[in-house]
Structure 1
């Protein structure tokens, strides 16, 4: 992070590379805190807005962009704060954030402890603990989900304190840790591990009576708060202490049943899940939950570590269930799961019943099983369950026992069940697991490669274990070698196999258990490159109804071959693949589907995206205006359902932006030429409104390349026109002209008069911005016939607004107002809300110039509210700038300066240099009136350079004119005259009224 460091383990601290402390206040401080609490993980915009405002204002999206931009400005190049989808990601290296340093040091210390180097471990834990300066994010009011994160960090702190005490105790320093442990149990008196360590420290320090006193205090707290006696470990240590033993020796051989598989020595992470399952299972011995047998059900996709987690918890709780632990693999993912009667037979035999006594009837076996378990304390681990019907007979009838289930299904119909949905591992935990397998020093030495490797494994524990096993078996391989092999997505599953274990087989188990239609849905969804998709996409792929598609996709989600990604526009559930499962789905599609079937399925899906994109565009722009289309769509959604999905067109493009980009790429690769460019052009205005410039560029450049290869003249022209508009949005006047010229030529060759007129309007806009008003008016007039023939009223609005702006610049305010008011009325008739409010801002500028700030404020305020609710950042910035200029006209200079913060932040965030130049120009005028003349002059030189870079001669001339005024106010007439003389050529070419005024000033001060 270029030298900046951040502290979150206490009050938030930000230090620049030079050691300066950077102070952020208010919502910027809170926003940075939220991002630091989730460093290196994206945080959704909705979460951030919910945390920043109890009741989000209509302008919350643009306000959030403002706060992000202010953080970027305050930290400059010292921060890597990126937009990710509809959220933000704060990216940091391990040494840049105290939380990341803490995690790294704890991992190293635990690795030392596993190797038996307790002195080094104790030193490492103490170094990690020294990073804590108080509560995480201390002093910041936290939202509910932030509070959960803070609680998680505090839990990690508590576990690390106990790890440190245990290491120091094992290193032979019992007397030194007693004080720390006494403080700990005073703070958290219900942690049995802390009491156990304190008793052990007293025993080893020769203070047996203190150990016995500690046991009584622990027992008092536990009975009072939990209604339960201390666990077996504490009771056993108490017993040996009474017998004057000097250490807590392990007990002798047990006679109870234990069928548990071995625990994984390299188990890492899953702290919250372990704690949740443990709490629930221990309630079997409490009194607060009635008489129901507690059941914990861990669900998740194959290879995610369900069994590993269940076995770890079961081993940790062995002493809480002293009568025994029964385990069985129910083979739920196989074609023939284990019969419940057979499972009961195995359990009954393990409980000591002779096979000859076992009844054949299922109900009789259930009765015998529950009778055998009555008033006893057993833990049953039911691994790999198929469904509720399979496990229901295996649940004991009386409290005292507990049940731990794993399944790919969510077992929603079991009573008294605590369900844990297990996701893939966090990257840091997956890296630690890899280090446990191949050696911690290898991941410590190459942390970036280790993170890349686990990401290629999809953070799936099984895949990480297999990758680690391959590296351990081939010591001549380094991480980079395996990364190269895994980077080929088509061969990745083949690489993730070692010995008898492979990721492909784990996925195949779930796939093979599906009916044929669900298998077909799985295969075809795997053909899509979109990161997530709605139900309609599945319907298109199978050419079926949405209800049937939803049923099949939910079936895939039930067996964890799909993941629910959330809800999208129209309330449709959105699904996604884990990367490795997608690779398997594609393998099956290529093996089991013909080329024709795959191509037809994809063409229907991409047609669905196009159909929705067209509908969303029509809703945004009031009709099929501003763009050209191809001639057909292969597949359409049900009309009512489609209109419901795009009821909020900008919410739709937010949900589908990545899918549109990937669909355009796939269309290009598959030769769906017209689909490719039509989808790109249909989403252009949607992308522009949300300032999705990267997506806009990618789709158009991809489609242009394909259209050039296929010789599609209309497609080439449409994409060049779209790229020219993108140049406008990014203030790239150099690239705009050539693209428009070629688009005009190609539209003409293709005989597309509407497309030709669209390009002429944008050429007129370019001439206007360059101050070539006569050329602009000629282009506007020439475009009119083609627009009228096509019925493109939205572009007629652009023409009227452009002509009005030319009159405005020439000082003809009445004529300007006439054209712009007509444009507002037409936009209202058409239903083009975006154009109407954007045009209203221009009207506000005109009436402000006519000396009516009250009317101007009304126009700007209405536009700000509507465009803010619409989520149109550049429009919001434009309206907010207008309000600042109203304040300036009323001589409220301080309020004007305050109001300028928002548009400047927005324009910087979206990269709008014209907008930045306008705001900085107004800021310079504010400083001039505040007599901050030196600062104003420096700022205006910056504006002049910016306008020169983006080829905005009118703005450049106005900035130089104001620079001359500033020098004159400062008493430097030679500098003033020099600035005015620099301004005059620009103004003579672009603004006759201003040119006359400046010429008069030069004459006045040189006479």
Structure 2
């Protein structure tokens, strides 16, 4: 929902300044800052609607309910024209790069409203991925512009950005706003009141709403005196207001809200208080459930909107939706007290309207996320856990790891405060650790997984122990501690066999195969992958089967069994394409490229690398893109296509540098220097001799590498 522009007034200078910044070409981020109620969102909406004709596409995102970056990025990428399967295939760790790169490709406007919802009180970020995105955009953005509204400035480098502190309206603009809202009075009266109100748009709107409701036929500004609301300078001397550490405008707005609320009917008072449990826009159907046995209509909601207690907007289909201004929401919640029954009614509504599987996007599970929120607000943590458990696999498989971190992080925090030792607490710790693992934060993952293991052992939860042990093995594997990973996987598989968990056993066998491969024990790796694939085929796990096939291909390649490796990679590729796994498809193609290169089928290897590279770029996987480029450079160098090889190496190096992967940067740099040396030494030799020598050097290197790994 964007703020209504029906009564737009003024802001001529501010709009002109923002238009100049957007046209500058060197400014990538514009921020509108100011106190709550000053009209930041309304100004952004005006820019969005009327001053953005130069942009190819534009997007409005409200993050006031702590929208995760994953959700924001996927929504924008879909609007940019990417297909749903492509967007869903982008790993969460690659979403920052994917969004930055696709915004760079065109001239787009992205408005992010209520950015302060993502910040701590000291201006630091609640979600590190948002910080990474903004830093990445400022560092390498293109012609697109990001416009944010916020009460607090985030900690960002002061480059290629501009901040616009938003003041109140001028007296003339304030007077015009009152007139547009239907308030009568002489020009002097309206100007005088707007000046006393310091041009505060929300205060002016609340006053107008109050007068329209109380003085329907003749809403004169001077009639405020009848209600004791004409001049805050007199009001702040009231005994009941002493000791309130607020500005005069804040006090004035609260007094106007008190007057408006007290004049509502009992039904509308109860309705307004109950509606405050909703954190997202609501319609008449959602409002109706809050007063069972009493008919709640759209007219009731519009009556509250007429008093400016709610904001009203229409959707694309003409439906009416309502929500609170943040200041008014805080006021109503403070007045409401215990809202347990209202939360329960909201839960019943969302459960009744929840979508059934299969789910395609996170929007399909929106009702479950709202049920989780309301259960959590009531302190019903077991119910919150049970709710999110229904869609846990969807979140994991689709890569919504920041969503998992937020949800399980809330549960873990609550149960830690209550000193819980339930299996659900252990499972939440385990899921939180897995989410951090998927985000590449391995040490943090280990900390939570160890906590989960301790509780699972204390309460005798064998299944929980096996899961925590296996996940610890994965985390240590990613840190390069392969023997420690093997120890954890061996403990995990023993329990899984004991309790008859065939799927878990297959996963552990595959993980053991990966660990032994990394230790150079290729035949042992093959044995474990073959045991794993047998079980996965037995239980019908197609994705797991394809992953094990990739493991078999890698081990066979390292043993010099190149044609066998190609067979495994081809089988994996067919399955990955069948199930729509774009990341897995790209990985299978890289494997095929490696095996073809080993067989000296260089044109075929190049074709596979280029196919993989196209997918990696499409889904924004920078690490995979760099790997494909580096391998492509190796093959091009063997064919003597030095300029193309050099470009591939340099592009790979630049990507590695951007990701902070120093070891990979050095490998790419070594390849570049080696290319230069070979060019200088052999530039006078016939190409046939050079190719022959390169092939033998490559073979000797692979044999030596295999010997050293074993």
What range describes the TM-score normalised by the shorter chain of this pair? 0.5 to 0.7
Which residue does the alignment assign to 2:435? 726
Say whether 1:90 aligns with 2:146.
yes
CA 1:678–1:895 in 2, change beyond 3 Å: closer, same or farther? same
Which residue does the alignment assign to 2:279? 530
Shift of 1:751: 2.2
Which residue does the alignment assign to 2:414? 706
Which residue does the alignment assign to 1:920? 626
Shift of 1:933: 4.1
Which residue does the alignment assign to 1:69? 100
Shift of 1:70: 0.3
Shift of 1:759: 0.6
Which residue does the alignment assign to 1:368? none
Distance 1:98 1:745 in 2: 48
| Relative contact order, higher structure (CA 8 A, sep 6+) | 2
Which residue does the alignment assign to 2:26? 15
Correspondence 1:646-725 to 2 at 5 A: 647-648=358-359, 650-652=361-363, 655-656=366-367, 659=370, 662-663=373-374, 666-667=377-378, 670=379, 672-675=380-383, 684-689=392-397, 691-714=399-422, 715-725=424-434
CA 1:824–1:538 in 2, change beyond 3 Å: closer, same or farther? farther
User: TM-score, normalised to structure 1's length?
Assistant: 0.42
1:921–1:943 Cα contact (<8 Å) kept = no
Distance 2:495 2:103 in 1: 45
Correspondence 1:239-278 to 2 at 5 A: 265-267=175-177
Shift of 1:800: 4.2
CA 1:44–1:781 in 2, change beyond 3 Å: closer, same or farther? closer
Which residue does the alignment assign to 1:59? 86
Which residue does the alignment assign to 1:437? 194
2:629–2:651 Cα contact (<8 Å) kept = no
CA 1:648–1:763 in 2, change beyond 3 Å: closer, same or farther? same
CA 1:767–1:690 in 2, change beyond 3 Å: closer, same or farther? same
2:343–2:375 Cα contact (<8 Å) kept = no
Distance 1:657 1:766 in 2: 30
Shift of 1:762: 0.3
Correspondence 1:839-918 to 2 at 5 A: 840-841=546-547, 843-844=549-550, 846-847=552-553, 849=557, 850-851=562-563, 856=569, 859-860=572-573, 863=576, 866-867=579-580, 876-883=582-589, 886=592, 889=596, 891=604, 893=606, 896-897=609-610, 900=613, 903=616, 906=619, 916-918=622-624
Report the 3-state secondary structure (helix = DSSP H, G, I; strand = E; otherwise coil) of the residue aligned with 2:25: strand
Report the 3-state secondary structure (helix = DSSP H, G, I; strand = E; otherwise coil) of the residue aligned with 1:971: helix
CA 1:804–1:520 in 2, change beyond 3 Å: closer, same or farther? farther
Distance 1:66 1:681 in 2: 30
CA 1:93–1:269 in 2, change beyond 3 Å: closer, same or farther? farther
Distance 1:465 1:843 in 2: 73
Distance 2:510 2:113 in 1: 35
2:537 to 825, 838, 844: 825
Which residue does the alignment assign to 2:450? 741
1:503 to 248, 257, 280: 257
Distance 1:506 1:999 in 2: 80
Say whether 1:783 aligns with 2:489.
no
1:565–1:574 Cα contact (<8 Å) kept = yes
Distance 2:492 2:457 in 1: 13
Correspondence 1:488-499 to 2 at 5 A: 495-497=252-254
Equivalenced residue count is 554
Report the 3-state secondary structure (helix = DSSP H, G, I; strand = E; otherwise coil) of the residue aligned with 1:90: strand
Shift of 1:50: 7.6
1:961–1:998 Cα contact (<8 Å) kept = no
Say whether 1:33 aligns with 2:89.
no
Q: Deviations over 1:750-780 (max 9, x none)?
A: 2222222211110121233344445434433
2:649–2:671 Cα contact (<8 Å) kept = no
Report the 3-state secondary structure (helix = DSSP H, G, I; strand = E; otherwise coil) of the residue aligned with 1:33: coil
Shift of 1:65: 7.5
Q: How large is the RMSD of aligned CA atoms in angstroms?
A: 6.4
Report the 3-state secondary structure (helix = DSSP H, G, I; strand = E; otherwise coil) of the residue aligned with 1:267: helix
Where in structure 2 are there 5+ consecutive unaligned residues?
1-15, 29-51, 65-70, 119-129, 134-144, 151-157, 213-223, 597-602, 680-699
CA 1:795–1:817 in 2, change beyond 3 Å: closer, same or farther? closer
Q: Computing the radius of gyration over CA atoms, which structure comes out larger, 1 or 2?
A: 1
2:502–2:535 Cα contact (<8 Å) kept = no
Distance 1:782 1:493 in 2: 61
CA 1:74–1:553 in 2, change beyond 3 Å: closer, same or farther? same
Correspondence 1:228-627 to 2 at 5 A: 265-267=175-177, 305=181, 307=182, 437-438=194-195, 462=208, 495-497=252-254, 502-506=256-260, 511-512=265-266, 522-526=272-276, 528=277, 530-532=279-281, 552=296, 556-557=300-301, 559-560=303-304, 576-579=323-326, 582-583=329-330, 586=333, 589-590=336-337, 598-599=339-340, 602=343
Shift of 1:970: 3.8
Distance 1:82 1:862 in 2: 42
Report the 3-state secondary structure (helix = DSSP H, G, I; strand = E; otherwise coil) of the residue aligned with 2:280: coil
1:727–1:736 Cα contact (<8 Å) kept = yes
Distance 2:658 2:96 in 1: 26
Distance 1:886 1:32 in 2: 45
